[in-house]
């Protein structure tokens, strides 16, 4: 994956983890999902192309986390809406039923 960009040093990111984790944990129940969102947020934060001011880094990270959470919510809603189209819960036609019907 390479080294992080020069705009954020690793200690800066480490300082962001506790408030970022609290923010995400307040919105999700599953600790594994919290870890996933925090990891994706940090990944996006480290790949930021523009240099960030130290005072705005936490706010930027929280906005990224909010967007990641919104994307996950949209994807979950879409999956729920389309699940009936993907899964056919009807019993398959058995050959013996076809013979008996004739």
Q: How far apart are CA 9 and CA 5, in angstroms?
A: 8
More confident residue, 10 or 61: 61
Residue 26: what pLDDT? 96
Q: How far apart are CA 36 and CA 88, in angstroms?
A: 31
Q: How far apart are CA 28 and CA 23, in angstroms?
A: 9
Share of the chain above pLDDT 90, in %: 50
Q: How far apart are CA 68 and CA 55, in angstroms?
A: 22
């Amino acid at each position: 994956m390479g080294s992080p960009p020069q705009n954020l040093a690793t200690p800066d990111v480490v300082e962001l983890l506790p408030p970022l984790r609290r923010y995400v944990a307040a919105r999700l129940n599953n600790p594994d999902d919290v870890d996933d969102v925090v990891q994706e947020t940090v990944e996006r934060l480290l790949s930021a192309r523009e240099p960030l001011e130290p005072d705005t880094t936490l706010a930027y990270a929280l906005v990224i986390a909010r967007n990641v959470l919104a994307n996950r919510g949209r994807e979950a809603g879409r999956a729920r809406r389309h699940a009936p189209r993907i899964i056919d819960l009807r019993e398959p036609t058995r050959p013996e039923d076809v013979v008996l019907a004739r």
